[in-house]
Structure 1
Amino acid sequence: MPLAAHVVRHAAERPRHPALRGPSGEVSYGELAAMIQRDHGHHPGDLVPLSLPDPVHLLATALAADLAGATPLICDPTWSAERRAAVLSGIPATLTNSGGGWACFTSGSTGRPRAVLRSAESWSGSFRHLDALTGIGPDDVVLVPGSPVSSLYCFAAVHTLAAGATAVVPGRWPGGDLAAYLRDATVAHLVPHQLPAVLEHDNRLRVAVVGGAALRDRPPGLHVVAYYGATELSFVAVDADGTGLRPFPEVEVEVRDGELWVRSPWLAHGYLAGAEGPMRRDARGWTTVGDLAEPYRPGGRLRLRGRGDGAIQTGGATVVPEDVEAVLRRVPGVGDVVVLGSPHPELGSVVTAVVEGPASRAALEAVARGGLDPVQRPRRWYSAEALPRTPTGKPARALIAEILDQLKRL
């Protein structure tokens, strides 16, 4: 069933109920259904690249393509014409053997993003589980404070509409306008570094759905549902009570030689145009994107250790950046931190930390000595007022590595 069918159903039941609220205004379910049921010229099997700057119009147009049996491909509206042409080169205009679906780009900060194709069912089938975990329903107002080009935020907006709730879609992190967007919100979809900013404002939130395994604190009085996933894998594990990540419903996990493998109904089909990427499958349907995890026992907690391709090789030892980052985030004044390897003529790489916030090097080194093995401790320290981030709000590691020499040394 097309995802857009949920909107049509809600429009018949509650046509005046607000569906989408964005910078250009608000549309009701009746208005949204009328928008997506117009003839947009889409046909089954079409791949429809979309890069509209207004998030309300973007989502409406994507749902129209979905309703027609086409596959919307959500592009970044900030791309220049040249960048868009380069990213879309080689991607076909039609998809053979396609029953419709959705496609989003991975959030790479440099290089050419990869388009990930999935079926509509790989999203819609998980809706009931997220509903049970969060209690999201028709009377909720859900803040989705990021660009729909990110699969995290695109999923959040579509799930909100499937639930018959109101999606508040600023199209980006709203910054100084956050309080206004939060005014009526009862639910927010966030990444970990956004949660403290949200809590600084008066709000009516009862649930925060947080994508990312690096959540440190759970504020009292707010139900936090933290989860781990990937564009290629969708939901993998969830922590709804603060006791740690456990497999999301209908998801199987295995850890093979330190690498996490997943089998579930929520997996994407793969990359468009034969693009190469970290997604790999075996003959039994198990899939990985190279994330690392500690040994796992069925029914137990899943402990992640970061991405295998981000590991730092230094003097013959392997350092996982996320292990170091988790310790350094405890330092007072640290908003966020990225750990990466920078070249060294003898060691290959040395552990390097880029810190967001006013923490002192003395405080950072004191915590590093107390919580890290000698090989894990950063040898080079940089500071940044604000870390560059991808459209999902995650630190743009590749870009940070490129601009390292432009940052202030601690």
Structure 2
Amino acid sequence: MPVAAQVMWHAATHPDRPAVRGPREELTYAALARRIHRTAAHLATRFPGPGALAAITLTDPVGQLTAALAIDLLGGTPLLCDPTHLKTLLATPLGDTPQPHTPARIGALGDTPRPHAPVSADALGGRPLLDDAGRGLVGLVVDALPSAAAGRDVPMHRPAPGDLAWACFSSGSTGRPRAVVRTRGSWTGSFAPLSELTGIGGGDVVLVPGPLLSSLYGFAAVHALAVGATVLAPGRWSPGSLPGLLRRATAVHLVPHHLPELLEALPDGAPLRTAVIGGAALAPGLRERAATAGVHVVSYYGATELSFVAVDADGRGLRPFPGVEIEVRTPPGGPLGEVWARSPWLAEGYLAGAAGPLLADGDGWMSVGDVAAPYLPGEVLRLRGRGGGAIQTGGATVVPEDVEAVFRSVAGVGDIVVVGSPHPDLGAVVTAIVEAAADGPPVRAALEAIARGGLDAAQRPRRWYTINALPRTPSGKPARDLVAARLADGDDPNLRRLP
């Protein structure tokens, strides 16, 4: 069932229930349904037809959800993006024909399987919108909503689970956008198990405190509307607005980096009971701190390309999300392996040949290159980070996330990114970039003492920098590759050596 149809059902059964509150307005389910119908009728006159891609460049979260659900009603594939993302898409040459899935070699860590085949514009069934060079991807750009009713009925698309029914951007920690395409089944089929794990249902008010362009926040908002909850969508992370939002919210989706600020802003007697955390590992003690405030944390591991892979609902470690099989493919005698997943929630691929980490084999398994300790079914999945980010220093392999975890709870460290800096003899040296806390950065000598007590010699940072605010991806994760690039350029005045 399209999410738009579920919204219409809620509008018929609970018309006066608040559906979505944005920065400028709040709509009931009845009002949202009318606006979706009006927008769909307006777009239908120029929409290429079911399956076509629609790039939505609106900035207001209420407008973004309205447009996405109107495209859903028409049977199209909505893609929330900003103008920069759209320019990136239009600059990507199209292939002549859709390509089949490309089998990848099932190999040990360090092998290089061929990437998963991209999804072409032809596969989406839409007329591409061309740029001046004759290249393009989208069937329609939605940059405005109608101000009046279009005066015509819109026939609802008859959906199928295999419809290409959602697209979203993934940049991981690199800051480079790639559009990932999903089937209807892969998108909406996971709603029920997520609701069961989190307890989120029609009586909830769900805070989605980040940009809906991010798959993490976009999924959270659409899931909430599908189950009949109320969505609080401020459109961006704003600590100053948190107390007011938290006086209403019963559940929240966010990244680990923002959970401490949210707990600090939580008013006495606030109704918040559940925090759904994705995007990175939780810092030590953060789950317990939330529990003390009466907030149950459900954390998960996944990727835009893989959707949900593993979930920790009780603090005992990550275990497969319902419907997911996990393998960690480890070379003989190797300490780490590559995480592969097989499930109904996997994406179809990237649009128009975009390069990315998604790999596929011929048996339905996919990977984005994350690494973990050896794993057997029934055990806890022990993630160790993204394989491509590993630092080779003096013959040793250092996983940045292992180093970062040691320092995240240190006083004065707001957050930290560890990268490799080129070295003529060692190949690279471990370099730490510390985001200073509000009261200033920590003393380097104190950090080095902690490193000596908690890290092997090869893991200890040899170079230290501080920065007021780390650059981040739309979902709030540190943009690791962007930090490394700025460090290599040497001309960012915000990066300062830690004395």
Query: 1:85, 1:275 → 2: CA distance?
Result: 13
**1:344 paired to 2:406:** no
State the 1:95 CA deviation.
3.8
> Are the counterparts in 1 of residues 430 and 463 from structure 2 also a CA contact under 8 Å?
yes
What TM-score do the two structures reach when normalised by structure 1?
0.95
Residue of structure 2 aligned with 1:160, choices 183, 208, 224: 224
| Correspondences of 1:252-271 after superposition (within 5 Å) | 252-257=325-330, 258-271=337-350
Report the Cα distance in structure 2 between the residues aligned to 1:18 and 1:191, rounded to whole angstroms.
25
Which of 59, 62, 72 is matched with 1:56 structurally?
62
Which position in structure 1 is the counterpart of 2:334? none
Deviates most, 21-30 or 34-43: 34-43
Q: Which residue pairs with 1:75 in the alignment? A: 81
Equivalences for residues 315-354 of structure 1 within 5 A = 315-354=394-433
CA spacing shift, 1:236–1:288, aligned 2, 3 Å: same
C-alpha distance in structure 2 between counterparts of 1:27 and 1:409, whole Å: 49
Q: How does 1:293-372 map to 2 (within 5 A)?
A: 293-357=372-436, 358-372=441-455
State the partner residue of 1:242. 315
Report the 3-state secondary structure (helix = DSSP H, G, I; strand = E; otherwise coil) of the residue aligned with 1:193.
helix
Highest Rg: 1 or 2? Answer: 2
Partner of residue 208, structure 1: 275
Could you say which residue in structure 2 is the equivalent of 1:13? 13
Query: How far is the alpha carbon of 1:100 from its aligned partner?
Result: 3.8
Structure 2 contact 55–86 (Cα < 8 Å) conserved: no
Question: CA deviation digits over 1:168-195, x for unaligned, max 9?
Answer: 1111112322222222111110100100
Counterpart for residue 33 of structure 1: 33
1:164-243 aligned within 5 A: 164-201=228-265, 202=267, 203-216=270-283, 217-218=286-287, 219=290, 220=292, 221-243=294-316
Q: Specify whether residues 200 and 330 from structure 1 end up closer, same or farther in structure 2 by C-alpha distance, changes over 3 A only.
A: closer
Structure-2 separation of matches of 1:146 and 1:153: 6
Check whether the contact 2:210–2:475 (CA below 8 A) recurs between aligned residues: yes
Contact 2:206 2:224 (C-alpha < 8 Å) held by counterparts: yes
The aligned amino acid for 1:239 is D
SS of residue paired to 2:26? strand
Equivalent pairs counted in the alignment come to: 406
Alignment match, 1:378:
461
Secondary structure, counterpart of 1:244 in structure 2: coil
Q: Is the 8 A contact 2:53 2:77 kept in 1?
A: yes
Distance 2:69 2:170 in 1: 20
Q: Report the CA distance between 1:88 and its aligned residue.
A: 3.0
Aligned equivalents of 2:318 and 2:446: distance in 1? 30
Which of these residues, 103, 116, 124, is aligned with residue 188 of structure 2? 124
Change in 2 beyond 3 A, CA 1:100/1:256: closer
What TM-score, normalized by structure 2, do the two folds share? 0.79
Could you say if the C-alpha distance between residues 25 and 94 of structure 1 is closer, same or farther in structure 2, counting changes exceeding 3 Å? farther
- Cα separation, 2, equivalents of 1:108 and 1:232: 10
Whole-Å Cα distance in 1 between the matches of residues 319 and 172 of structure 2? 27
Give the number of the structure with larger relative contact order, counting CA–CA contacts within 8 Å between residues 6 or more apart.
2
Q: Does 1:3 align with 2:3?
A: yes
Letter in 2 for 1:125: G
Give the gaps of 5 or more residues in structure 2.
95-119, 126-161, 331-336
Deviation string, structure 1 residues 1-32 (Cα, Å, up to 9, x no partner): 21211101111101111111001210111111
Aligned-partner Cα distance in 2 for 1:187–1:117: 27
- Aligned partner of 1:23 in structure 2 is 23
Q: Deviation of residue 278 (structure 1)?
A: 0.7
> Which residue of structure 1 aligns with residue 358 of structure 2?
279
Of all paired residues, the percent bearing the same amino acid is 64
CA offsets 1:347-384 (integer angstroms, 9 cap, x no match): 11110001112222122111111111000000000111
Counterpart check, 1:87 vs 2:89: yes
Runs of 5+ consecutive residues of structure 1 not aligned to the other structure: none
Please state whether the residue corresponding to 2:381 is helix, strand or coil: coil
**Root mean square deviation of aligned Cα:** 1.6
Show CA shifts across 1:256-276 (max 9, x none).
020000000100001111222
Alignment partners' CA distance in 2, 1:210 and 1:60: 25
Q: Contact (CA 8 Å) 1:383, 1:409: kept in 2 or not?
A: yes
8 A Cα contact 2:78 2:166, kept in partner? yes
Q: Which residue of 2 aligns with 1:389?
A: 472
The answer as to 2:170 corresponding to 1:106 is: yes
Residue 251 of structure 1 aligns with an amino acid whose one-letter code is V
2:351 and 2:461 map into 1 onto residues whose CA distance is 38
Shift of 1:114: 1.1
Kindly provide the CA deviation profile for residues 373-406 of structure 1, in whole angstroms up to 9, marking residues without a partner as x.
0000000001112211110000011221122233
Partners of 1:95 and 1:63 lie apart in 2 by: 21
Cα distance in 1, alignment partners of residues 481 and 227 from structure 2: 36
Offset of residue 143 of structure 1: 0.5
| Amino acid in the other structure paired with 1:243 | R
User: Which consecutive aligned stretches of 4+ in structure 1 deviate over 6 angstroms post-superposition?
Assistant: none
Question: In structure 2, what residue type is equivalent to 1:58?
Answer: Q
Distance 1:176-1:137 versus aligned 2 partners, 3 A rule: same
- Mapped contact 2:406–2:454 kept (Cα < 8 A): yes
What is the CA distance between 1:110 and its match in structure 2? 5.9
